[in-house]
Amino acid sequence: MNLLWRIWATVGCIAIAALLALVFHSSPVKEFIPFLFIPVIALIASRFGTWVGILGTIGSMAIFATFLFEPGLSVQVSNSVQRDNLIWMVIGGIALSEILGVTLPNGSDSESDGKGT
């Protein structure tokens, strides 16, 4: 798959996270948004590859921590439940990216160069 498509998929994943952070910023259910975002990560990883899923997970975590949770404009999260949900999103997103990541017909990872390295 073309590198440009993977870059756009990563940016799209982070943009969806930013949109959710904007929409649910003052919602009482905002602490559960990281759990609801895991299917988005799984979809992106299954379509575009392991590294796109991992980068989308990390970028989304940064967006949620910065713009969704208090204190604003900081990656620190003061609420322990929200922080734990972010941690579980990262663990689940990386695990699902590894499990569902696209593989080539020869069984190698989609991001490898095919030389066995």
Return the domain boundaries, the chain. 3-100
pLDDT 10s digits, 71-100: 988 889 999 999 999 999 999 999 999 999
49: left (phi over 0), alpha (psi -120 to 50) or beta: left
- 91 contact partners, CB below 8 Å, separation of at least 6: none
Give the pLDDT score at 111.
Answer: 52
- Token look-up 């905002």 returns 30
Predicted structure pTM score: 0.84
